[in-house]
Amino acid sequence: MTKDRKLIFAGNWKMNKTVAEALDLVRGLKIELANIKEADIVVCPPFTALSEVSKAILDSNIRLGAQDMSPNNVGAFTGEIAAVMLKEFSVRYVILGHSERRQYQKESDELIAKKAAASHAASLKPIVCVGETLSERDGGNTQQVLETQIRGSLAGLNKDQMTETIIAYEPVWAIGTGKTATSDQAEEAHRFIRQLLGQVFDETVARKVRIQYGGSVKPSNARELMSQPDVDGALVGGASLESRSFADIIKNSIG
Ligand code: 13P
C-alpha cells in the first residue's frame, strides 16, 4: 500500500522504564528495526531516561520524543521542563494533550495550544492528541468533541506549523483497554479530522498532515488499521514497552 504521507510510529512509554530498563528496550529495538526506512520511528521515554536513550540511539533510525513540555521557556515553574531543555537531548517530537494529561492534570485545549506554539518555536514537532470518551461516543458527540479539541488545541498555528504537526486520534475508551477501534471507526474519525483541517487551514495542509491512531494497537491489528486511507501511523502505549511487539507493529504495517 502506498500513501503520500510517510507512516510514523511512536512509542509512548508513559510512566514506565527505569534508565536500565529503557536501555534494554532500546537495544532490542535497534536490532529489530535496523533496516526500516519506510516509516518514521519515535520513542518517547520518561524525562529521566531521555539523556541515556538519546545517546543509545545516536547511530540508529530511531528518533526521540518527550511526553510533555511546558508552554513557558524559563523561570519559576516547579516541576516543569522547557523545550530548550529537551533539545539538549536531541528530542525532535513532543506528545501534547494526551488524554491522561487532559484527565489527571486537567489540561485544557487552550493550554495545549500554548504548548504547541512553544514547541514549534523551538523546532520540536508536536504530536497533539485528541479523542472522545465512551460516553461522548455513545451520546453521538464524537465529531463535536473532536472539532472542539482540534480547533482549540491547534489554535494560532500557521499553515507551515500545522503541516509539521502530527495529530494522534486516540479514543479514550480504546486506551489501555484492549478494545481497539475498528478500522472503519478509526477511518471515519481520521477522515473527519482531515476534512476539518481543510476548513480551518487549507486543503494542501490537510493532505500533508499525518494523523496517527492510538488505542490498543497490537501487532495483530496494526496492518488493518494502517490500510485505511487516512491513518498514517500509530501512537502505541502498552505494546511499545516490549521491543518485539513494537517492532512487529511497524513491520506488519509496512510489509
Ligand atoms: P495503549 O496502546 O496502551 O492502549 O495506549 C495508547 C496510548 O495512550 C498511546 O499514547
Separation of alpha carbons 208 and 60, rounded Å: 26
Q: Is the pLDDT of residue 2 over 80?
A: no
In the predicted model, what is the mean pLDDT of the chain?
Answer: 97
Separation of alpha carbons 156 and 154, rounded Å: 6
pLDDT of residue 90: 96
pLDDT of residue 1: 47
Residue 195 sits at φ, ψ, to 5 deg, of: -60, -40
Question: How confident is residue 255, by pLDDT bands cut at 50, 70 and 90?
Answer: confident
Which residue's alpha carbon is nearest to atom 2 within ligand 1?
Answer: 237
Judge contact between 177 and 99, C-beta under 8 A. no
Separation of alpha carbons 213 and 233, rounded Å: 6
Non-local CB neighbours of 222 within 8 Å, separated by 6+ positions: 234, 248, 249, 250, 252, 253
* Three-state secondary structure call for residue 228: coil
Non-local CB neighbours of 46 within 8 Å, separated by 6+ positions: 13, 14, 15, 16, 17, 22, 67
What does each C-alpha distance from 139 to 102, 136, 149, 190 come to in angstroms? Answer: 20, 5, 17, 19
* Percent of the chain scoring above 90 in pLDDT: 97
Ligand 1 atom at shortest distance from the alpha carbon of 240: 2
Residue 70 sits at φ, ψ, to 5 deg, of: -80, 150
Substitution candidate for ligand 1 out of 235, 242, 248 with most atoms within 8 A of CB: 235
Residues with CB under 6 A from ligand 1: 12, 98, 170, 175-176, 214-217, 235-239
Give the tens place of pLDDT for each residue, 157-206. Answer: 999 999 999 999 999 999 999 889 999 999 999 999 999 999 999 999 99
pLDDT of residue 3: 78
Q: Is the pLDDT of residue 69 over 80?
A: yes
**78 burial level (CB within 10 Å; 0-12, 13-18, 19+):** exposed
Give the tens place of pLDDT for each residue, 196-215. Answer: 999 999 999 999 999 999 99
Q: Which of 91, 115, 93 is nearest to 102 (CA)?
A: 115
Give the tens place of pLDDT for each residue, 78-91. Answer: 999 999 999 999 99
Which residue's alpha carbon is nearest to atom 7 within ligand 1?
Answer: 237
Tell me what the mean pLDDT of segment 89-118 comes to: 98
Q: Which of 121, 242, 142 is nearest to 193 (CA)?
A: 142
Ligand 1 atom at shortest distance from the alpha carbon of 238: 3
Which residue's alpha carbon is nearest to atom 9 within ligand 1?
Answer: 237
Judge contact between 29 and 243, C-beta under 8 A. yes
What does each C-alpha distance from 249 to 143, 146, 158 come to in angstroms? Answer: 28, 26, 33
Separation of alpha carbons 41 and 7, rounded Å: 9
| Residue 254 alpha carbon to ligand 1 centre in Å | 20
pLDDT of residue 96: 99
Q: Is the pLDDT of residue 129 over 70?
A: yes
Judge contact between 196 and 241, C-beta under 8 A. no
Give the tens place of pLDDT for each residue, 222-232. Answer: 999 999 999 99
- Identify the residue whose cell numbers are 461522548: 136
* Percent of the chain scoring above 70 in pLDDT: 99
Give the tens place of pLDDT for each residue, 27-36. Answer: 999 999 999 9
Dihedral, CA of residue 179, residue 180, residue 181 and residue 182, to nearest 10: -110
